[in-house]
Amino acid sequence: MTSFSKILNRIKTSFPTGETVITEEPESKEKLAQKAVISLAEMQRINQAEKQHRNWVENLQNIRSALQNTIANTEDDFLNVGSGLFSLQQNVSGLTQSSYQALDLISGKNTEEVLNGITIAMDEISHSLDVVNKHIKRDMSILEKIGVTFSDVHDFQRAFKKVVKNLQVYSKATRIESSRLHTLGEDFHTLAHNVGDLSVIIHEKFTKFFRSLNSLQGLLARTISSINTLEKEHLHKTQENINNSLINLVMLTGKQTDSMILANEVSRQSADISKSMNTIVMNLQSQDATRQIVEHVITAIEKLCDDIQQADNNENNNFNPETLMDISIETLAVSRLQHAQLEKARKDFVKSVENILRNMQTIGDRVSLLNRDINSLGNANNALDNSFFKKIEGDISGLITTLMANSENREKLIDYIVTVSNDITDFSGFINDIEEIGENIELIAMNARIKAARVGAEGAALAIIAEHIQQNSLETQRHTASLLKLLKSTTGVATSLQNSREKSDDEVNMKPQQMMLDLEKQLHSFRGIQKTIGEMLTKTATMSDQIKMDLRKRIGSVSVHRVFDQSIGEISHQLQKLIRNIEIHTPELPLERVQERLRELEKNYTMESERSVHSAILTVDSAETADKKASAPTQENEPEFFDEFENFDLFDDGPAVGDPQMEQDEFSQNDSQTVGDNEEADDLGDNVDLF
């Protein structure tokens, strides 16, 4: 519809009775001239409005195209950042998982069980050594007592020699006296023979006995001396082995504690790295939300252009002042709102990328610390190398060898004591024979006295000999009784030693070879764990090095935020120029209606960050409306709705992006709520699950 047609339509619709109007009298020329002047002025205003609207649409379309180009031009860079960060996140996840696995191995149940097993084995070996040494000392004490007894028994050798010598003398004296008496002394020949035989038997028996006793006593002395020497050496060696083993066990526990401390530090660094990575992901998701805001701005500008063009092309629209004002209000409200959204999106996008870069740098720093701790942990793990374990095994093997040697010595000792006990038993039987001989001597002496009494005075000498034989018999019986008592006490000691052996075997109940096998199994298991830990630490160190290299590469390649900042800043600046132009050429726009329209537009958005921008604009506009009402001009002084419209070029060289005079103060309150901060929940837009 042409401007002229619109004017005619306006004139026609000013008459309520229809298209054909019959007046009773024609209008005067003055009135017709006046109407013509009014219609011409209105046509000029309509032409001016159309020109202004076309200019708005043209500039808005340019802004829309520029925004679309910005989105398209930064799309690949944005996706590359996301793809790179996704790869980084996977590597970081692998790194943290590897460090956690190493920590679990170092401080986990398996390691604890192995260390407990080693400790228990050491305790059992030490206990067995203590028990064996205790019994050896007790058995040695018994042997020493037997040795003392043997010395006491040996003292009887002289007494029995005297008995034998006396009997020999008495036998000769009896023969002599019997020969002197001739017929009267015939009975004494038998007595002399019996006394002589008895002296021979006693001599043979006690010679054999004391020969065996001397041999046994010498063997006992040598055995005691040898065992004492071995005991001292073994005691010293055992104590040395125990001390070395305990020192190594303490070292092992200390190294394990150090490893656990380092592993916990590695775990903490890994957790911090994961935390920074999560912050990066949140900022990346916020970037996507920011790009959605730009897309929403494009959609809003497209709708605004369509609304303006539809109003211009609507034939039923008579371009009354109210309609023109509605278009201006709509254009101003939408433009201000989208300008604010762009500024917020620009700042948030830049800050989110800067947060990403800052967190990437933080990850790099923490990975360096992680590398340091991993190297320390690796050194601690390498300290538990084969030589260390071989040393532990060597010390423990020495303990086992000492334990077995002590056990063998004790077995030999026990076997020897059994032999001594058997010999002592044999001696006891011999002593019984000696007792019988002593009784026989007494009988012989009694018979000799009787026979001497029969002979009378001539047998006085034989009576004296018989009396001495009887005294010798009593002395022999006394010596044999004492000797038998000593030997029986030795037999009792040997019996108690046998019982002690059985009791000690039950108490020790040790199997050195099995103990060694169990200990070697525990050490082998622990060495396997240490080997696995070393492999995992090497893998973790390699992964951390790769992450550091990847971070340096990616930090240096990210420039999308600078491109986005510059492009959106320039577009925002041009949109701000359009807003200023609308405000300059339509100064009488009622801000209440602009504010009302903003409230209506707020319903179209669901993202909290966009709604916060609406709220900020409404707050500022409310204050401006109150100020303007207080200083509003009178109706007579109100300016024309459309002033003289001048063409302007939105895309000329304006002030630099970020110029303070172009920033809007009303959004400063939102700066503290930019993407990446943790004070409030981030608004992640439509596509939250990027990963």
DSSP string, 474-498: HHHHHHHHHHHHHHHHHHHHHHHHH
pTM score > 0.85 for this model?
A: no
**pLDDT(59) > 80:** yes
Identify the sign of the CA torsion 232, 235, 239, 242.
positive
Among the listed ranges 25-34, 46-55, 56-65, 214-223, which one has the minimum average pLDDT value?
A: 25-34
- In 3D space, the residue among 500, 498, 475 whose CA is nearest the CA of residue 424 turns out to be 498
Q: Which amino acid is at 329?
A: I
C-alpha gyration radius of the chain: 62
- In 3D space, the residue among 144, 217, 228, 141 whose CA is nearest the CA of residue 409 turns out to be 228
- Residue whose token pair is 């304006």: 654
| Distance (Å, whole) CA 346 – CA 665 | 15
Residues 6+ apart with CB under 8 A from 336: 579, 594, 598, 617
**pLDDT(303) > 60:** yes
Q: pLDDT tens across 255-279, in order?
A: 667 767 767 777 777 777 778 777 7
Helix or strand or coil: residue 12? helix
Most confidently modeled of 114-123, 204-213, 314-323? Answer: 204-213
Specify the length of the chain in residues.
691
Among the listed ranges 375-389, 556-570, 672-686, which one has the minimum average pLDDT value?
A: 672-686
Q: Tell me what percent of the residues of the chain surpass a pLDDT of 90.
A: 0
- Residue whose token pair is 């992450």: 547
| Distance (Å, whole) CA 514 – CA 537 | 35
Higher pLDDT residue, 522 or 434?
522
Mean pLDDT of 322-329: 73
Q: pLDDT tens across 438-479, in order?
A: 677 777 777 777 877 777 777 778 778 878 877 877 887 788
Task: State the pLDDT at residue 120.
Answer: 77
Mean pLDDT of 192-203: 82
Q: Yes or no: say if 177 and 468 are a contact pair by the CB < 8 Å rule.
A: no
The CA-atom distances, in angstroms, between 558 and each of 85, 277, 555 are 11, 16, 6
| Distance (Å, whole) CA 172 – CA 176 | 6
Q: Yes or no: say if 591 and 622 are a contact pair by the CB < 8 Å rule.
A: no
Residue 529 binned pLDDT confidence (cut-offs 50, 70, 90)? confident
Task: State the pLDDT at residue 315.
Answer: 43
Q: Which amino acid is at 420?
A: V
Instruction: Tell me the average pLDDT of the chain.
Output: 70
Among the listed ranges 144-148, 177-181, 502-506, which one has the minimum average pLDDT value?
A: 502-506
Q: Yes or no: say if 46 and 3 are a contact pair by the CB < 8 Å rule.
A: yes
- In 3D space, the residue among 577, 67, 666 whose CA is nearest the CA of residue 335 turns out to be 577
Q: Which amino acid is at 268?
A: R
Residue 424 binned pLDDT confidence (cut-offs 50, 70, 90)? low
**pLDDT(5) > 50:** no
Task: State the pLDDT at residue 305.
Answer: 86
Higher pLDDT residue, 192 or 24?
192
| Distance (Å, whole) CA 685 – CA 169 | 134
- In 3D space, the residue among 648, 126, 687, 51 whose CA is nearest the CA of residue 399 turns out to be 126
Residues 6+ apart with CB under 8 A from 387: none
Among the listed ranges 157-166, 179-188, 194-203, 666-675, which one has the minimum average pLDDT value?
A: 666-675
| Distance (Å, whole) CA 584 – CA 588 | 9
Q: pLDDT tens across 338-361, in order?
A: 888 888 888 888 887 888 788 778
Query: What DSSP designation does 184 have?
Result: G
Identify the sign of the CA torsion 399, 404, 409, 410.
positive
Mean pLDDT of 172-184: 78
Higher pLDDT residue, 173 or 654?
173
Query: What DSSP designation does 284 have?
Result: H
Q: pLDDT tens across 118-127, in order?
A: 777 777 777 7
Among the listed ranges 61-75, 411-425, 642-656, which one has the minimum average pLDDT value?
A: 642-656
Query: What DSSP designation does 272 have?
Result: H
Identify the sign of the CA torsion 434, 435, 436, 441.
positive
**pLDDT(243) > 80:** no
- Residue whose token pair is 């069980």: 113
Question: Chain-centre distance of CA 371, in angstroms?
Answer: 16
Count the alpha carbons within 13 Å of 51 in the hemisphere toward its beta carbon.
Answer: 14
Higher pLDDT residue, 461 or 7?
461
Which tokens hold the place of 14?
């000013």
Mean pLDDT of 662-685: 38
Mean pLDDT of 249-256: 69
**pLDDT(641) > 70:** no
Q: pLDDT tens across 32-42, in order?
A: 555 555 567 66
- In 3D space, the residue among 362, 378, 287 whose CA is nearest the CA of residue 564 turns out to be 287
**pLDDT(665) > 70:** no
Residues 6+ apart with CB under 8 A from 311: 53, 317, 323, 326, 327
Mean pLDDT of 22-38: 53
**pLDDT(1) > 50:** no
Mean pLDDT of 65-79: 81
- In 3D space, the residue among 48, 77, 676, 621 whose CA is nearest the CA of residue 324 turns out to be 48
Task: State the pLDDT at residue 634.
Answer: 41
